Structures are given as structure tokens and as C-alpha cells.
Amino acid sequence: MVYRIYVEKKPGFDVEAQGLKNELVSLLGIQSLSGLRLLNRYDVEGIDEALFNQCATTVFSEPPVDNTYAELPEFEGISFAVEYLPGQFDQRADSAAECIQLISQGERPLVRSARVYLLEGSLTEEQVAEIKKYVINPVEAREASLETKATLKMEYPVPTAVATLEGFNELDEEGLKKFIDEKGLAMDLGDIKFCQEYFRSEHRDPTITEIKMIDTYWSDHCRHTTFGTILDDVQIDDAVVQAAFDRYMAMRADLGREEKPRCMMDLATIGAKELKKQGILKNLDESEEINACTVKIKCDVNGKDEDWLFLFKNETHNHPTEIEPFGGAATCIGGAIRDPLSGRSYVYQAMRVTGAGDPLKPVSETLPGKLPQRKLVTTAAAGYSSYGNQIGLATGQVDEIYHPGYVAKRMEIGAVVGATPASHVRRECPRPRGCHRPAGRPHRPRRHRRCHRLLQGPQSGQPGPLRCRGAEGQCAHRAQAPAPVPP
């Protein structure tokens, strides 16, 4: 049986509802909106009625500040509900399910949540549609049914054979352009032509999975195509910027990099190369790992100098935050933490620098296909702080820059620093045909030990170097024999 409960903040505590109402009136210009109520709806399956009633005032609500209802309150205005898309993580529902399990000490129940909006006032269909467009981000959410549910179990279709894109190798340039549009691909014409040449050499058409996978990992976010774009013609009006660019070109000549592509990535990394050549960068901790920049330092620990490693890293999440502000900003700081953490350090401080358009501009001036700037900046701030608060990371600097140049593409940067005693770090490189044993398991001598390989050598089943795609080229022997594209 599915149990349902609605939770609403009491008058005086409904700050979020009143804030949203003011946004809709001031930004969308819907003056006829006279009132707005927000309710959190929970559907629960897998527990008995007694446990559900117990959780009503302990998990789902706080009696001093919340009102609860078994049915949707009688309302004469417009009502609609919003829920996350299937497969999208619903933190509210997940946390509720976990709390119920802690109380019951039994199996974790199924919980689904939704946000119910009750609109008061003489609203037209166009105004209601405009409000829905403002509060529903189609990338992560959808309008939910107000009807009760018989079950919360999701029915998933049985996977069938992966579709092969018959005739892909025969497409001409116009056909490839149409193919990109039909499949909604992020890659450009040059990328899709390269794919076509590869599969022609393989004498087969690709599957839709292969094209989608390549499209994902060749995106600007994963491959940094913007930073890797070759700069053929550079024109600079500012004298200071021109002087800096001239210095960059001089460094390229000094380092013998004139034949290397001139791009933003080269511009960003050439400083460290120049310092290293001059012998100034002496305390850099170099290894075969590519995690976070690591510097050797001396640290005073109870009056005694110890060898420590100081790590720092930044993560840009411009596009993810542009399309899904809460999750994009949350995983921005999460991604920044990941790298020094994988270097075995403790991450203890962070900084957030962002760029956006004017959040006070009317929603009507929002570019097609974009979220309103106010919605973007406020939701992204909530996502960043949510992740930081949960993981317990102090952010000492938060700076948001407002400029028209950030309207087309938002800037979302999270930067962190971490440290660890040098004695706590042990580095090794996987060897060809190396054997792996999960940490923590007692070693049991065996007569025959099996070697585990990822993306094995030239032919499946043949001995070959251990290759992990994400770390390609980090070891010398792997750099000489790059892993082939999986068939």
C-alpha cells in the first residue's frame, strides 16, 4: 500500500513560498498572482500504517513549524506538482527513506517526493504556463500527476539488441549534418566525419551506443575542446593584454614550442614549464599520477619540521551548471575535492568564483534555450552550499562576477587546497600482467593466481599491458602502446 502525506510551512515560516511569489510578480510581471503555497508531498510504500504515522512528525515534518495533511487541501486556484525525472537523484526522498529505515531497523522503503504549487489569483493559461516554465527545469524534472498511486515500483523495459546505424558510413556531408541534428549530438561536422572514417576502416556501421558514448566523451566538458581550439589569428586591442601575449609567445620560443598548437590550454600551462626550465620550480612533486598540483613543503607539527605535500586543484563546471544549476554547482566542488583526495590528502579549504549575467533583468529577456539568470545564480549557490555543508568543507572566498559576457555561458569554478604528510603517500605504477588483490582481505596462498586486466592487450585473452582508459599515458609503457578503441 502507498501512503501519502503533504507538508507545508506554517504562516510566518513559509519564507520560500513568499520569496518565490515575489520573484514571479517582480521578474515575470504576473501582477495577478495574489498568493502562493508550497507543499512537499511524500509517497511511501513498504511500511505499515503505524510506522508511517510515527514518521509523520519525526521524518516528514517538524510540528512546531509545519502543517501536515493526508489529502491535498481544498483550494480554488491553480495547482500542479513537480517531481524529478526517473533516474534523477531525489535527495529528499532518499534521506526520508534512510531515516525511516533507521527508525524501523528493517528494510528500506520506497519513497517518492514531489513539490506541489498552489497558485491564487486570476491567472490566464499563458501565465500558468510561464510559471511552470520558470519552476520546472526539463533537464532534471517534470510535471507530476496529482492522482494517488497504486505502487511506487518502476517498470523498466527489457533491453533489446542495440541498434546499428545502418548506412552511416555512406552518408555525405549533408547527411552527416542532418544526422547530428536528428540525434541531438554535441560533436561538430569534423568530429562526425572522423568517426565515419574510423568505422569505414573497421568495415562496419557503428551502434547508437558507440556514437552516443563518443559524443559524450568528446564534449567540451570532458575533452576541453574550447581550451584545445587552435588560435590561428589573434587580435588584441588592450596594450596590457598584448604585452602579456607577447611574453607568452616569447616563452614558446624559449621552450622550443613554436611547432606546438597555440591554444588556451598551452597558454594556461606554459608558465609552469618556463619556471621549471629556469630551475625555479624546485619543490614540485612530480609523479606519474595526474591528480592535483602537488608541492613539497615543510610543516611545523608541534615544533618539529615535517615533510608534507600541499595540493591544490580547481574544477570548472560551466556547462553542467548552465543546464542543471543545483547539481552542476554541487558536483563542481565535489570534483575539485576528488583530485587532491585521490592524492591521499585531506581537503580543508575551498574557494568559489563564478560569472553570470545580470540576475535582476526580466525573465522575458532570457536567451532562447537558457535558464533565467536569477534562477541560475540562486539555484547554483544552493547546490554548492548543500554539497559543502554536507561534506563539511569551509569555503573562505565566494565571489560572483556579473557581466554580459557570461550570459551566453556561465562560469562556475570551485578551487580547493589539501595537505598530507609525505610519509602517508606511497606511489607505484601498475606492471604488465600485474596481479591485484582487494585491500583488507586476508591473503590466501593459491596454487594458481589469476591476473586481471582491463581492456586487455592486442587480442582478447592475450597477455598485454594493464590499461585503464581514464589514466591512459600516465605510465611509460602505456604511452608506447595506447589502448585500442573497444570493439
Answer whether residue 185 shows pLDDT above 50.
yes
Between 396 and 457, the higher pLDDT residue: 396
pLDDT at residue 271, as a whole number: 92
Confidence (pLDDT) at 432: 78
**Are the C-beta atoms of 92 and 40 separated by less than 8 Å?**
yes
What is the CATH T-level fold of the domain 294-424, as seen in this structure?
60s Ribosomal Protein L30; Chain: A; (3.30.1330)
Task: Please provide residue 485's backbone torsions phi and psi, each rounded to the nearest 5 degrees.
Answer: -65, 130
Long-range contacts formed by 454-457: CB under 8 A, 24+ apart: 455/483, 455/484, 455/486
Q: Of 297, 376, 332, 355, nearest to 139 (Cα)?
A: 376
Read off the pLDDT of residues 77-125 as tens digits, 9 standing for 90 and up.
Answer: 999 999 999 989 999 999 999 999 999 999 999 999 999 999 999 999 9
Residue 120, beta-bridge partner list:
35
* Gap between the Cα atoms of 170 and 250, Å rounded: 47
How deeply is 461 buried, as exposed, middle or buried, from its count of CB atoms within 10 A (0-12, 13-18, 19+)? exposed
Phi and psi at residue 148, to the nearest 5°: -70, 160
55, pLDDT greater than 70: yes
pLDDT at 467 over 80: no
Residue 435 pLDDT class (50, 70, 90 cuts): low
Closest CA to 457 of 434, 435, 437, 433: 433
Rounded to whole angstroms, the Cα distance separating 432 from 466 reads 5
Query: In the predicted model, is pLDDT for residue 167 greater than 70?
Result: yes
User: Where residue 473 falls among pLDDT bands split at 50, 70, 90?
Assistant: very low
User: Mean pLDDT for the chain?
Assistant: 86
Give the per-residue pLDDT at 212.
94
- Residue 221, pLDDT score: 73
Q: How far apart are the first and last CA of the chain?
A: 46
Give the pLDDT score at 286.
Answer: 84
Structure confidence by residue, pLDDT tens digits, 323-348: 899 999 999 999 999 999 998 999 99
pLDDT exceeds 80 at position 481: no
DSSP string, 261-315: ---HHHHHHHHHHHHHHTT---SB---S--SSEEEEEEEEETTEEEEEEEEEEEE
Residue 29's region, left for phi above 0, alpha for psi from -120 to 50, else beta, is: left
Three-class DSSP category at 42: strand
Question: In which band, very low, low, confident or very high, does the pLDDT at 226 lie, cut at 50, 70 and 90?
Answer: confident
The answer to whether residue 479 scores a pLDDT higher than 60 is no
DSSP label at 395?
E
